[in-house]
């Protein structure tokens, strides 16, 4: 039933979009050139779609980190063992570098919300099979503390979650997870301090919605995994049976 509703919804959206494209030719959300033929992945031109999405991506199933060489395990690589990450799996487009890194940095500004939406569609289209196999029942974006959200004017995680919700036919529980602690920005801390910084940063507002639920947690980038790991702990303590993570990019090493 969920698949049928998703297909009908996608068809209606495509019909409406086709009519609008005749009046207002779409532009690439990344490079701003006109797109002659709209792509399945939305308003990103074919050239930059190739640049943003790696031709081949072999990642750790647990943390999403790139696997280099045959000796590294795809179940739990060296990146996600110390300290252990407490979500179940990660789905990502690729590594946090080059054009993908540039896109994520631009997504943090309110005037780039169209780019956030385009990247959400790209993630949903390019990694649809992996996301669908999770059998998630709801999508939860990583929230920002209210003062930071007010200052920034946007939260790319919410926009990504909205796109994934449409693609997967899942409800987005935007207010289920609350950021209750004004933590120091993770980018200002060392890898070790990021985990202690996030302790107690989240709470669940309606735990009854989580009993036995399979949750897809969404953020723009996964670096050490401290933020998503802490959020997963809180969601599981409130009753979630599984917490998977979807991000645009996975950073590692000097990235």
pLDDT in tens, 56-91: 788 898 999 888 766 566 777 877 777 889 999 999
In a domain, residue 125? The reply is: yes
Residue 92 DSSP one-character state: E
**DSSP β-ladder status, 214-222 and 242-250:** parallel
Q: How confident is the model at residue 253 (pLDDT cuts 50, 70, 90)?
A: low
Could you check whether the bond before residue 83 is cis, i.e. omega within 30 degrees of 0?
yes
224: how many CB neighbours lie within 10 A of its CB?
Answer: 23
What does the pLDDT average to over 14-37?
A: 64
pLDDT digits (tens, 9 = 90+) for 163-206: 999 999 999 999 999 999 999 999 899 988 999 999 999 999 99
pLDDT given for residue 3 in this prediction: 53
Q: Is the pLDDT of residue 14 over 50?
A: no
Task: Give the angle 89-185-197 at the CA atoms, nearest 5°.
Answer: 65
In a domain, residue 223? The reply is: yes
- C-alpha 178: how far from its chain's center? 17
Which structural domain range is residue 229 located in?
A: 55-250
For the entire predicted model, the pTM comes to 0.86
pLDDT given for residue 192 in this prediction: 86
Number of domains present in the structure of the chain: 1
What does the pLDDT average to over 239-246?
A: 98
Q: Identify the CATH number of the domain in which residue 219 sits.
A: 3.40.50.2020
In DSSP terms, 91 is beta-bridged to 246
- Lateral strand order in the sheet of 89-95: 89-95, 242-250, 214-222, 138-141
More confident residue, 24 or 116: 116
Q: Is the pLDDT of residue 55 over 90?
A: no
Round to whole Å and give the CA distance between 59 and 77. 9
What does the pLDDT average to over 204-217?
A: 96
In a domain, residue 37? The reply is: no
Residue 197 DSSP one-character state: H
In a domain, residue 103? The reply is: yes
């Amino acid at each position: 039933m969920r698949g049928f509703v998703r297909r009908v919804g996608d068809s209606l959206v495509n019909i409406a979009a086709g009519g609008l494209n005749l009046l207002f030719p779409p532009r690439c959300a990344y490079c701003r050139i006109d797109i002659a033929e709209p792509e399945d992945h939305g308003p990103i031109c074919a050239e930059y779609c190739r640049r943003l999405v790696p031709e081949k991506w072999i990642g750790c199933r647990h943390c999403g980190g790139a696997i280099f060489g045959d000796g590294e395990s795809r179940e739990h690589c060296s990146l996600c063992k110390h300290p252990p990450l407490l979500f179940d799996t990660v789905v990502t487009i690729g590594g946090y570098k080059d054009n993908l890194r540039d896109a994520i940095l631009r997504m943090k500004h309110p005037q780039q919300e169209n780019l956030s939406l385009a990247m959400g569609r790209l993630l949903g289209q390019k990694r649809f099979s992996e996301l669908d196999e999770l059998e998630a029942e709801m999508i939860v974006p990583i929230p920002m503390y209210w003062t930071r959200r007010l200052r920034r004017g946007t939260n790319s995680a919410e926009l990504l979650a909205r796109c994934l919700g449409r693609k997967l036919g899942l409800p987005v529980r935007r207010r289920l997870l609350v950021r209750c602690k004004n933590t120091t920005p993770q980018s200002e801390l060392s890898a070790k301090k990021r985990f202690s910084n996030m302790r107690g940063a989240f709470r669940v507002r309606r735990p009854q919605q989580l009993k036995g639920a399979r949750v897809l947690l969404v953020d723009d980038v996964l670096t050490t995994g401290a933020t998503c790991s802490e959020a997963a702990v809180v969601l599981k303590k409130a009753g979630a049976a599984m917490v998977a993570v979807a991000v645009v990019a996975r950073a590692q090493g000097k990235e």
